[in-house]
Structure 1
C-alpha cells in the first residue's frame, strides 16, 4: 500500500469545494435555506481522528519493539486503510466546508454568525481529521530492511541488463 499523496488530498478538497458550493446553490435556487452542519459534526470529526491515531499506536509500538505481542498483519492493514480513508474524508470535508463558506460570503446579505462559526469549526475539525489520518498512516509504516531492497540477494534489480547478469555491476 502506498502512502497518501498530497495531490489526492488536494483533489478531494477541490471536489469538496465544488460540491459544497453547488449544494448551497441548488438549495437557494429551490427556495430553501442554506446548509448548516449540526454541532455534532465537528465533534465527530475530531473523535474519529483521535480514534484512528489510538488504533495506530499499538501497531507502532509493536513494529518498533516496544510491545510484547506480535503484530497481526491483517489488523495493521485495516488500520492503515482506515487512516488513509480518514485523511481523504477529512480533505473532502475541508473542501465541502470551504465551498459552503464561499457560497455564504458571496451572497449580498451578511451570513449569520451561528452558521458561519459552525462551518469554520467543521473546516478546522476536518483538517484535524486529515492530520490524524496522516499521523496514523505514518505510525502504521514499518522501516525498510536491507532485505526489502534486495529481495533475491542481488543488487536490487529483478531484470537482467544488457550483459545478461542481474544488477549490471559485473564486468563482461
Structure 2
C-alpha cells in the first residue's frame, strides 16, 4: 500500500470546490444560514487522529511502557487515516467552494458575512482533519530494521 499523496488530496479538494461553488451560485438564495461551528467536528476528529497517531507510533516503535500493536490494529488505523484524509479533502473543497462565493459578497449581503466566518471555520477544521489523518498514516509506518542499517542497506517499505 502506498502513502497518500498530498497532491492527490489537493486535486480532490479543487475539483470539489469548483463543483460546490457552482452549486452555491445557483442556489445561495434558498440555502439556510450556515452554522458557525458546522465544520468544527472535523477539527475535533483531526485532533483525535493526531493524538491517536502519536500514541500508536510509540507502540509501533516499542517504546518502554507500551504494548506491542497487533497488525490488524495498525491496518485499521491506516484505513481510517486514508478515509479521513480523503473525507477531509472533500470537505475542505466544500468549504472552500462556499467561501469562494460568499467572501466577495460579505460586504453587500448580511448573510454572506456570517456565512464567510462559518466557511473559514469549516475550512480550517477540514484542513486539520487532513493533517491529523496524514500524521496518523505516517505514524503507522514500521520503523526501519536496525540490522539492515548496520549492513548499509535501507529497509524496504
| 1:111–1:120 distance in 2 versus 1, CA, 3 Å | farther
Mean alpha-carbon deviation: is it higher for 103-112 or for 10-19? Answer: 103-112
Q: Is the 8 A contact 2:17 2:95 kept in 1?
A: yes
**Cα distance in 2, alignment partners of residues 39 and 105 from structure 1:** 15
Per the normalisation by structure 1, the TM-score is 0.73
- Residues 1-172 of structure 1 mapped to structure 2, 5 A cutoff: 1-28=1-28, 32-33=30-31, 36-66=33-63, 67-105=65-103, 110-112=108-110, 113-145=113-145
Q: Is the 8 A contact 2:37 2:121 kept in 1?
A: no
Structure 2, unaligned runs of 5 or more:
none
Q: Partner of 2:2: helix, strand, or coil? A: coil
Residues matched between the structures, number: 148
**Cα distance in 2, alignment partners of residues 105 and 39 from structure 1:** 15
Per the normalisation by structure 2, the TM-score is 0.79
Mean alpha-carbon deviation: is it higher for 110-119 or for 125-134? Answer: 110-119
User: 1:94-138 CA deviation, whole Å, 9 max, x = no partner?
Assistant: 111111111224559724321110011111111111111111111
RMSD: 2.7
Counting helix residues as a fraction of each chain, which structure ranks higher?
Answer: 2
Per-residue deviation, 1:32: 1.2
| 1:37–1:79 distance in 2 versus 1, CA, 3 Å | farther
Per-residue deviation, 1:55: 2.7
Residue number in structure 2 paired with 1:164 = none
Higher relative contact order (CA 8 A, sep 6+): 2
Structure 1, unaligned runs of 5 or more:
149-154, 156-172
**Cα distance in 2, alignment partners of residues 111 and 144 from structure 1:** 56
